[in-house]
Structure 1
Amino acid sequence: MFHLRRHWGTLVASASRRPPWVEVCASFATDPRQYDGTFYEFRTYIIQPAKMNEFLENINKHIHLRTAHSELVGCWRQEFGGVMNKVFHIWKYDNFAHRAKVWEALAKDKEWQEKFISKSLPLIVQQKNEITYLVPWCKIVKPPKEGVYELATFQMKPGGPALWGEHFQKAVNTHIQVGYSKLIGVFHTEYGTLNRVHVLWWTETADSRAAGRHRSHEDARVVAAVRESCNHLKFHENMLLIPTPFSPLK
């Protein structure tokens, strides 16, 4: 018998007696493995266009009831990019058992249900969620002051980080080194669309972000690193995000 443990996007088997294919799979492991059970839930709400202010006021007033149960990493409203009228938030959980206990407690929390859920659900057009892990080579960093955020989402080709992880990490690190924007965190999807990586950046203003991006297009270091990573890329998209007043990440 053998069991499988998770590498960043791949499965690696281990046991005292391994079948031949296991050694081949293990040889592909080039990045740090995902041992930490902590995960991050990405939740996206699409709000009725005329109801965005009402929704934000309600969540701002009652978010303390929700954060009493688990940690909110950040909450933003979308300014640009894709479908409009989005509220995007990230929640942190120790493991899946922790999340199950939190949601069980929320279902029994009458104050939360009556003051927020019953009033907010009619305002929501659609809800989406993804379960993500922070990549092993990255930690969430808080920005030096308030600003705006960019969530860049990369849909990579099938195969996982064993195939494209090294080039992707190099591209991210190159952007960090040139200093055009500040990295907050890099996340890969566990439940949702697989082979997807989200990179959360911070800049002081939307204009400073635009200026930095234009400079990066002319920076040979960035161009070379991105070119290698793009060989494994299917498509990518981004959103400009404005933190809500109650967001821990400002």
Structure 2
Amino acid sequence: MIYELRTYVLHSAHFAEYLAAFEQRPAVVEVLRPHLRGFWAAESGILNRVMHLWEYRDRAERVAVRAARAQVPAMERFYADVLPMLREQRSVIYEGRVAPPFAATGGVYDRLAITLAPGVDGEALTHTVGERLSEGFQVVASLRSRLLEQPAAPVREIVFLLRSPSLEERQRAAVDLSAALRDSGVATAETDLWTPLGLSPLQ
């Protein structure tokens, strides 16, 4: 499986309108649902952002699915309406693992993105950091991107999606990452907070 993390920055005047477009168009939701694993809105960092997580067997399926969507009349109208609302788009393809949907609602998510320095063993670091994170969070996704998306190429970025049942539980999560990241060759590490939207299978 591959996972695509798509992040959109919207014009602030259109943020609520963009979210409402999904609620008002059930036909669009039905087209998107089979490959959608998560859908969140940013609570920190760059605001007026949404993040989608998509799952495909491989690049070929991704291309075929996106081409088929574009031919659906409801999707054509949807794209025509929402694309002008977007100010910025970013897409990254990852390999890795994503947990099944959660039945419970009310969760909040942290996205921890780690960029690796050249020569760092990304597989080992993913395991070490993931083990430490699991002491305080539900590690919902552990994703890795490689140079040129080649299976044998070095890991260049690791992304963890971390779920807490509530903001209160998140504040109580005592996870010391300093030992896991110290002298590990991490170039940068950043986090931001996200809340799941109603369409998201991961709540």
Is the structural similarity TM-score above 0.5? yes
Residues 63 and 93 of structure 1: is their aligned pair in 2 closer, same or farther, counting only changes over 3 Å? farther
Residues 139 and 92 of structure 1: is their aligned pair in 2 closer, same or farther, counting only changes over 3 Å? closer
Give the number of the structure with larger relative contact order, counting CA–CA contacts within 8 Å between residues 6 or more apart: 2
CA deviations over 1:151-194 (Å, ceiling 9, x no partner):
1100111235xx24324412221231x3x1111010011469x6
Matches within 5 A, 1:125-164: 125-134=87-96, 138-143=97-102, 145-146=104-105, 147-159=107-119, 163-164=121-122
Letter in 1 for 2:42: Q
- The runs of 5 or more residues in structure 1 that have no matched partner are 1-37
TM-score, L = length of structure 2: 0.86
Which of residues 201, 224, 230 in structure 1 aligns to 2:162?
201
Residues 68 and 80 of structure 1: is their aligned pair in 2 closer, same or farther, counting only changes over 3 Å? same
CA RMSD for the aligned pairs? 2.2
CA distance in 1, matches of 2:189, 2:27: 34
Shift of 1:118: 1.0
CA distance in 1, matches of 2:80, 2:139: 37
Q: Which residue in 1 is equivalent to 2:195?
A: 242
Q: 1:80 is paired with a residue of what secondary structure? A: coil
Q: Identity rate of aligned residues, in percent? A: 23
CA distance in 1, matches of 2:20, 2:94: 28
Contact 1:143/1:182 (8 A) holds in 2: no
Which of residues 25, 29, 44 in structure 2 aligns to 1:80?
44
What is the aligned length?
195
Is 1:58 matched with 2:21?
Answer: yes
Q: Which residue in 1 is equivalent to 2:11?
A: 48
Shift of 1:85: 0.7
CA distance in 2, matches of 1:67, 1:196: 32
CA distance in 2, matches of 1:59, 1:245: 9
